Structure 1
Amino acid sequence: MEYQQLGDSGLTVSRIAFGSWAAGGWMWGGTEQNDAVGAIRRAYELGVTSIDTAPIYGQGLSEEIVGEAIKGLPRDKVQILTKFGMRWDLPEPRGDFGFKTKDNSGRDLDVYKYAAAASIVQECEDSLRRLGTDYIDLYQIHWPDVTTPIHETMEAVQRLVEQGKVRAVGVSNYSAQQMQEAEQTVRLASNQVPYSMVRRDIEADVVPYCIEHNKAILAYSPLQLGLLTGKIKPGQDFGPGDLRNGHRLFTPENVTRVNAFLAQLQPLAESKNATLGQLVIRWTLAQPGITVALVGARDAKQAEQNARAIEVGLTAEEVSFISEKLAALQLIG
């Protein structure tokens, strides 16, 4: 495994991190807790020491699964990356309405982006309890909350740092301008943002800002919800509650086009004794400014495949070859 410091935070993480959104089941058609725990532990055995989670994933279930998975592991060898600012459990609506969803039992939920100081303090305590730990390595605001001044949010997180409950501060889904504003109050280590071969908009502003200011980028969904593994078929049924239902990238035409692109990479993957997914992860980590690839897994086999992506060596010429083929990929919508 390769490891890298997040900016100048002093926090070192594995370049492939375990993304536990799917482990919580929410928006992924449910979960099997034993498989999820086994996946995290297998990833750890292969050097994936960093685990990303959030309270909203399964409405606490993902954090509980992570907490179960790290029991017995040396705490100073594991980096827990969790988040705050997505509330589904408020007694009354507060903050910026996010979206309507359903929990794992099918009950309707309204989710709000809310990052006021008192709410953050409560969320931190709840996360520590679910995770079974007394500190969080990287604490990230999940989405911007336009109803709370950024300085108020960051002052609250800074107090958690001073109390020893948080080691480093990050943001997620922040623009370069929002990062700049947050930095007036607290030292940021990172920004967690969506990035994949078919979703590269951060290259316009976030990547240049992070490179210039020595901030890490944690790329989530580098496999684009499984689309870039080559395993998705046109017209595939994902089942109720799966966010890929109705997603523009998963239309039959787009899946067909992506699979045709991936077929051009298949000989290169085979020459490396690698899967297409492993090749895609390695390409992602080779892009300027990308520090970490966050990759989810539903079971130990998937976790092992993801972790072993770090063993795939790509030359500069091979990275360029992949990028040239990618430039010719045209998607609809």
Structure 2
Amino acid sequence: MEKVQLPSSDVNITPITFGAWAIGGWFWGGAEENESVKAIQTAIANGMTTVDTAPVYGFGQSEEFVAKAIKGKRNKVEILTKFGLVWDKKSGYIHYEKTYDNQGNEVSLYRLGSKESVIKECENCLRRLGTDYIDLFQQHWPDNSTPLEETMEALDILKSQGKIRAGGVSNYSAKEMAEAENFLQLASNQVPYSMVNRGIEDELVPYCITNNKAIIAYSPMQRGVLTGKITSDYKFSEGDHRPATPFFQEPNLRRINNFLTKIQPIANDKNATIAQLVLKWTLEQPGITCVLAGARNEKQVLENLKAAEMKLSGEELEFIKNELDKLKLEL
């Protein structure tokens, strides 16, 4: 897989990247360690050498699984992780109140971008990941309780120390990115984007194209609903948060599946799955640099890898666009 360079850095990443949220288990009904590690190792062995994780994905579990998978292979992989969501202290900005960690303990999440906290989080990430540097360190969510200058200064310090190669953000608006750029050259913004969640097209995509910033798209499968495998009688694991979200509820689920049925012939013509078609469509959209593809086992990784090889014609992209324009969801 040919890599792409992150702006304002010498970091090159794979356009389809292993998304390691699900292997953290939190919000996904748990995760199995051996399968998770093998999934990452399969990705690396087949050219998907970039892995995106975060401390909050399983409260350290995802990063620890990544560490086991990349042991002895660090020079062959690019590690993207995050900071700014803490559960061991209270800050001035609540992010998520009363959730449960993987041991069943009640915790609350706070957004915290103070210099002291960012530097401490980096050390914790390095320890969990078993490495001495991070390729891209991203602020997970904006923190309105900390001046942007302070957060960006922390990234600049870490970069000068060689502990991170590039700094980025996640879930930032175009306006927030422009403000942050007053203090640090950002490499990227990681944001949600999928066929059924296209809000970034209005302002963020034009901003990033104009200012040469990478967009890393997460949840391109909208947490699995765009695979076509989620039906009204689908059985979710205990602790899986997805049934409570609008995309998995009626009438949205029925309408999404009807849309997928309409574009299924395109996938059939290419001997591909709907999931592969959805991934490729996402990657083909203007301004999208990289797409995160989650996987919990080797089979899912190999399916995701095939999406990179797919070719979509202008006519096929136009057909999908027209069908998407007809899709009306109640969100």
TM normalised by structure 1 equals 0.97
What SS does structure 2 have at the residue aligned with 1:82?
strand
- Report whether the alignment pairs 1:21 with 2:21: yes
Q: Do residues 95 (structure 1) and 92 (structure 2) align?
A: yes
Q: How many pairs are equivalent?
A: 330
Tell me the distance in 2 between the aligned counterparts of 1:240 and 1:99: 20
Q: Is the 8 A contact 1:42 1:300 kept in 2?
A: yes
The structural deviation recorded for 1:235 is 4.5
Q: How far off is 1:223 after superposition?
A: 0.3
CA distance in 2, matches of 1:253, 1:299: 30
Query: Are the aligned partners of 1:67 and 1:131 in contact in 2 as well (CA < 8 Å)?
Result: yes
Q: Distance in 2 between matches of 1:274 and 1:291?
A: 22
User: Counterparts of 1:156-175 in structure 2 under 5 Å?
Assistant: 156-175=154-173
Deviations 1:298-326 (A, max 9, x none): 10100111111101111122111111111
**Which residue does the alignment assign to 1:177?**
175
Q: Which residue of 2 aligns with 1:7?
A: 7
Q: Equivalents in 1 of 2:191, 2:142: separation in Å?
A: 12
Matched to 1:328, the amino acid is K
Corresponding residue for 2:83? 84
Cα distance in structure 2, aligned partners of 1:45 and 1:148: 41
| Partners of 1:326 and 1:285 in 2: CA distance | 16
TM-fit CA distance, 1:7: 1.8
Residue by residue, what CA displacement relative to the aligned partner does 1:232-251 show, whole Å, maximum 9, x if unpaired? 00243423321202111111
CA distances 1:9-67 after superposition (whole Å, capped 9, x unpaired): 22110000000000110110001011000110111112111100000010001000001
Q: Moved runs in structure 1, 4+ residues, more than 2 A? A: none
1:118 alignment counterpart = 116
Structure 1 counterpart of 2:211: 213
* One-letter amino acid of the structure 1 residue matched with residue 62 of structure 2: S
Q: SS at the partner of 1:285?
A: helix
* 2:72 alignment counterpart: 72
Query: Which amino acid in 1 is paired with 2:141?
Result: W
Q: Is the 8 A contact 1:26 1:104 kept in 2?
A: yes
On the 8 A contact 1:2/1:310 being kept in 2, the answer is no
Q: Which runs of 5+ in 1 are unaligned?
A: none
Amino acid of the structure 1 residue aligned with 2:220: P
Unaligned runs of 5+ in 2: none
- Cα distance in structure 2, aligned partners of 1:249 and 1:236: 14
Q: Displacement, 1:181? A: 1.1
Per the TM alignment, residue 210 of structure 1 is displaced from its structure 2 partner at its CA by 0.3
Structure 1, residues 149-172: CA drift from partner, whole Å, max 9, x if none?
Answer: 011000011000000000011100
- Partner in structure 1 of residue 43 of structure 2: 43
Q: What percent of counterpart residues are identical?
A: 54
The DSSP-based 3-state class of the residue aligned with 1:166 is coil
Corresponding position: 1:255 with 2:250: no
The whole-number CA distance in structure 2 between the counterparts of 1:39 and 1:185 is 38
1:223 to 217, 221, 224: 221
Q: Secondary structure at the match of 1:110?
A: strand
SS in 2 for 1:123: helix
- After superposition, give the CA deviation of every residue in 1:69-93 in whole Å (9 maximum; x if it has no partner): 00121x2321100000000112xx1
Residue range with higher mean Cα deviation, 58-67 or 312-321: 312-321
User: Which residue identity lines up with residue 78 of structure 1 in the other structure?
Assistant: V
Checking the alignment, whether the CA contact within 8 Å between 1:235 and 1:252 is kept in structure 2 is no
Structure 1 counterpart of 2:34: 34
Task: State how far apart, in whole Å, the 2-side matches of 1:310 and 1:96 are.
Answer: 39
